[in-house]
Amino acid sequence: MNPATKKVSQSSPARVPPPAKAGTNLHQRVVIKPDEQPMPIAFKNQKPPAWFKRLSKLQKRFGAATFLLMGGMLLVYGATVYTQQKWSQEYRKLENLQRYERQLITTNELLKNQMATEAETPATGLVAPNPSEAIVLQPVNGDASSSLPEKPAEKIEVPPGY
C-alpha cells in the first residue's frame, strides 16, 4: 500500500457500511460510529470545588434576575407604547373638538350679526326699547329688599341698531 493511502484510511473517523445486498430494505438506518476511544475525564470521581458551586448558584440567581428584569422591561415598554398611542388618539379627539368649537363660535357670531343687521331694517317692525314702557314686577312674598328702588324713569339714549 501507498503510505499516503494508509494515512488517509487511518484518520477517517467513520466506518463505511458494507454495500446493501439485493432484496434488502434500502430505507434501513445506517449508524456510522466514530472510532471509539475513551475520552479522558479529569474530575470523574471528584467533587467540584466550593468556589465553583458558589459561582454556579450565583449564575442561576443572575439568570433568574435577568429574566425578571427583561420581563419588567417589556412590560414598561408595552405600557409606554400603549399610553403614547392612547394619548395621541385622545389628543386628536381634543383637536377635533376645539375645531368644532371654533366653527360653532363663528357660526353663532355670524347669526348674531345677521340678526342685528335684519333688526336695523324698518321692514321688520322692531322698535328700540323705551325705559318708560318697561314693566317692573313686584316680588310675590312682599320682600321689599329685593325690589328695585323707586326712581323716576330717565330717558336713556339708545344707539340705532339695538
Over residues 73-109, the pLDDT tens digits come to 999 999 999 999 999 999 999 999 999 999 999 999 9
Residue 14 pairs in a beta bridge with: 34
What average pLDDT does range 134-159 have in this prediction?
68
156 in Cβ contact with 131 (< 8 Å): yes
pTM: 0.40
- Indicate if the pLDDT at residue 134 is higher than 90: no
Query: Is there a contact between 138 and 147 (Cβ–Cβ < 8 Å)?
Result: yes
Split at pLDDT 50, 70, 90, the class of 38 is low
For residue 153, name the pLDDT band (cuts at 50, 70, 90): low
Query: In this predicted structure, what is the pLDDT of residue 9?
Result: 47
d(CA 129, CA 119): 12
Question: How many CB atoms lie under 10 A from the CB of residue 35?
Answer: 10
Burial of 30 (0-12, 13-18, 19+ CB in 10 A): exposed
Distance CA 33, CA 13 (A): 8
The model's confidence at residue 48, banded by pLDDT at 50, 70 and 90, is: confident
The cell numbers describing 1, all together, are 500500500
Judged against a pLDDT cut of 60, whether residue 26 lies above it is answered with no
User: Which of 2-16, 106-120, 139-153 comes out lowest in average pLDDT?
Assistant: 2-16
